């Protein structure tokens, strides 16, 4: 008994916050640009970074993007830094639950989390678990708000050398948070929730014909140590198959993305060793969708909405402007020695905790896959998204350097909760939405 008390006290000491966060920390976390962005003498809005001037802004680029520009594969248009304020309800939840969250003894364990950003304080290189805290800030981020949909979502497979489009898949993606909700009723949790699910992801393939009606449902548990439950409905079988969800390194439907790559990282926190490497000011693809050159061909609808266009080598890069952002560099190294990657280097946006840039390295330590997620300000996107306080995933590019191949994604992100009711995240919905 005595031993147990001592070990509990030791554990408590180990997992307690390095220092208690303050309301100022919250303010700084959510509004880092209230006094303006850091200025670079050789980096100004309106300029274009290309082969000729890339050396002068090397510090504002990650190694992979630097290499692409240096090779002439891509040019970056620089925009003005703008604040992507997350919804006040999420910020207020952070204030309200400040210092109630702590990491558990094991990686992936978290205690006391209710809602908002769990660790709003500035990370410290002296904190050995700072990287894990950043990972939890991402996991519990305001990524698609309480519910969101990419409706529709176009994925194109391209030969990077020739630019030939090999295949295009058209999806609908839906996201629902069962827990830690801050804006849409019910809050904070949807009840009943007997399995203590954290999040649901529902994917429906619309085109092409050979995979039409394929549907994927992922139930993510609140307990990070428990694997997802995944269900697949195949249109040609007309039945729901359970999937073994541990294969998160599977190339999703033949794309260059692993399931684990979605949204920057889509696995268990406990599957990685997380290391905070420092805070940087870097160019990141943050922009106003409506101000960008758009693709008039891929998507047409009655809203007049058009998706982001692509440019550069093989049409593999989003044709969007980039701005200087405060970024946390965080490495995640797989715990499993058989994982195909040796590590990912994530560049997490400090204000939104989205992951707009990730570089992945193979087992030999060589750069393998380059992932970019373009983020649009919601007030310059669909009119219905205005005021949502969500940094909208708007375009992605995954380049497989070794295969000289890429997969691009063009979004119509919609934050209308009617598109993603709870019923959509049920196994029965797979059957009823199939044929």
Partner 1 sequence: MTKKITTLNTLAIGVAAGLTLSYGSTVSAGEIEWSGFVENATYFRDKKGLSKFRNTAQAEFSKSIESDSWSNVSINGVLRGSYDGVYDLNSSEFGKDAQQQYLGESWHDNSTVSSSALLTPGTPFPCENDPTICNNLDGYMDQDENDAKFAEFNDRLDFIREFYITADKQLANGDVFNFSFGKQQVVWGKTDLFRVLDVINPVDYSRHNIYDELEDIRIPQWMFTAEWRMGSNEVLDDSNFQLIWNVDKFRPHNMGTCGQSYVMVDAGCFFSAKLAGTIPVIHDVQEPGWDLSNTQFGAKWEGVYGDTTFSVNALHYRQQLPSIHWRGPNPATPAGDGLFDIKFPRVTLLGGSLDYYSMNMDAVWRMEVAYTQGEEQPRDLNGNAETDMLRYVIGFDKNLVIPSLGTSSAFLISTQLFGEHILDHEADMPMDEDNWIATALFKGWYKNNRLSPQVIFAHDFAAKATAIAPSISWTPDNHWMFNAGLNVKFGGDEKFPWSASANVPGNAGVPQYEPLARFLNGPIGVANQEDEIQFTVRYSF
Do 252 and 232 touch, CB atoms closer than 8 A?
no
In the complex with partner 1, which residue's Cβ is closer, 81 or 429? 429
CA-CA distance, 151 to 174, in Å (whole number)? 8
In the complex, the smallest distance separating the C-beta of residue 401 from partner 1, rounded to whole angstroms, is 14
Query: Measuring CA to CA, which residue among 197, 358, 363, 333 is closest to residue 269?
Result: 333
Q: Which stretches of 195-267 are assigned E, i.e. beta strand?
A: 197-207, 215-221, 229-234, 239-243
Pick 76 or 399: Cβ nearer partner 1? 399
Q: Which of 1, 244, 364, 383 binds partner 1 (CB under 8 A)?
A: 244
Residue whose structure tokens are 């640009």: 33
Q: Does an H or E element contain 93, and which?
A: helix 88-96
How many residues form the binding site for partner 1 (CB under 8 A)? 49
16/335 with CB nearer partner 1: 335
Give yes or no for residue 245 binding partner 1 (CB under 8 A). Answer: yes
> Interaction with partner 1 in 396-425: which residues (CB under 8 A)?
405, 422-423
**Contact between 427 and partner 1 (CB under 8 A)?**
yes
Least spacing, CB of residue 159 vs partner 1, in Å: 10
Residues 253-282 that bind partner 1 (CB under 8 A): 253-256, 258
- Using CB under 8 A, pick the residue from 38, 67, 226, 280 that binds partner 1: 226
Among residues 24, 39, 55, 207, the one that binds partner 1 under rule CB under 8 A = 207
Helix (H, G, I), strand (E, B) or coil at 180: coil
State the CB neighbour count (10 A cutoff) for residue 387.
10
Question: In Å, how far from its chain's centre is CA 384?
Answer: 22
- Piece in contact with partner 1 (CB under 8 A), picked from 111-119, 203-211, 277-285, 316-324: 203-211
HSE-up of 379 (CA within 13 Å, CB side)?
8
The site map against partner 1 for 134-173 (x = CB under 8 A) is -----------------------x--------xxx-----
Structure tokens at 407: 């997969």
58 binds partner 1 (CB under 8 A): no
Q: Return d(Cα 183, Cα 93) in angstroms, integer.
A: 10
Q: Which range of residues in 57-65, 73-81, 122-130, 192-200 is near partner 1 by CB under 8 A?
A: 192-200
Cα separation, 141 vs 349, whole angstroms: 11
**Which of 226, 280 has the CB closer to partner 1?**
226
CA atoms of 116 and 367, how far apart (whole Å): 34
- Per the CB < 8 A criterion, the answer to whether 359 and 332 are in contact is no
In the complex, the residues that contact partner 1 under the rule CB under 8 A are: 157, 166-168, 192-195, 197, 207-210, 212, 219, 226-227, 229, 231, 235-247, 249-251, 253-256, 258, 340, 405, 422-423, 426-428, 432, 435
């Amino acid at each position: 008994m005595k031993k147990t008390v001592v070990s509990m006290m030791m554990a408590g000491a180990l997992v307690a916050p390095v220092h208690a966060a303050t309301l100022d920390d919250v303010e700084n976390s959510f509004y880092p640009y209230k006094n303006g962005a850091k200025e670079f003498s050789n980096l100004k809005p309106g300029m274009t970074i290309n082969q000729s001037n890339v050396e002068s802004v090397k510090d504002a680029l990650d190694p992979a993007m630097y290499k692409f520009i240096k090779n002439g594969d891509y040019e970056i248009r620089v925009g003005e830094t703008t604040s992507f304020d997350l919804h006040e309800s999420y910020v207020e939840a952070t204030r309200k639950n400040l210092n109630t969250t702590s990491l558990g003894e094991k990686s992936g364990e978290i205690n006391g989390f209710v809602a908002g950003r769990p660790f709003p304080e500035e990370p410290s290189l002296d904190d050995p678990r700072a990287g894990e805290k950043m990972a939890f800030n991402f996991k519990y981020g305001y990524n698609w708000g309480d519910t969101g949909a990419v409706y529709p979502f176009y994925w194109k497979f391209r030969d990077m050398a020739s630019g030939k489009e090999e295949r295009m898949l058209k999806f609908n993606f839906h996201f629902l948070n069962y827990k830690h909700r801050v804006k849409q009723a019910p809050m904070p949790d949807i009840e009943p929730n007997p399995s203590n699910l954290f999040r649901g992801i529902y994917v429906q393939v619309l085109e092409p014909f050979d995979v039409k009606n394929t549907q994927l449902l992922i139930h993510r548990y609140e307990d990070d140590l428990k694997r997802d439950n995944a269900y697949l409905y195949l249109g040609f079988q007309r039945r729901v198959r359970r999937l073994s969800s541990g294969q998160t390194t599977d190339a999703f439907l033949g794309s260059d993305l692993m399931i684990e790559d979605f949204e920057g990282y889509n696995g268990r926190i406990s599957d990685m060793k997380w290391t905070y490497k420092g805070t940087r000011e870097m160019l990141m693809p943050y922009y106003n969708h409506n101000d960008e050159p758009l693709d008039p061909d891929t998507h047409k609808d009655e809203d007049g909405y058009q998706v982001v266009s692509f440019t550069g080598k093989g049409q593999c890069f989003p044709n969007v402007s980039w701005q200087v952002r405060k970024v946390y560099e965080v490495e995640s190294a797989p715990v499993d020695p058989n994982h195909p990657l040796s590590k990912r280097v994530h560049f997490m946006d400090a204000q939104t905790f989205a992951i707009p840039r990730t570089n992945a390295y193979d087992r030999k330590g060589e750069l393998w896959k380059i992932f970019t997620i373009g983020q649009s300000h919601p007030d310059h996107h669909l009119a219905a998204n205005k005021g949502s306080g969500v940094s909208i995933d708007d375009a992605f590019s995954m380049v497989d350097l070794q295969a000289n191949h890429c997969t691009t994604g063009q979004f119509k992100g919609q934050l209308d909760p009617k598109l993603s009711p709870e019923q959509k995240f049920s196994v029965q919905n797979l059957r009823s939405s199939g044929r």
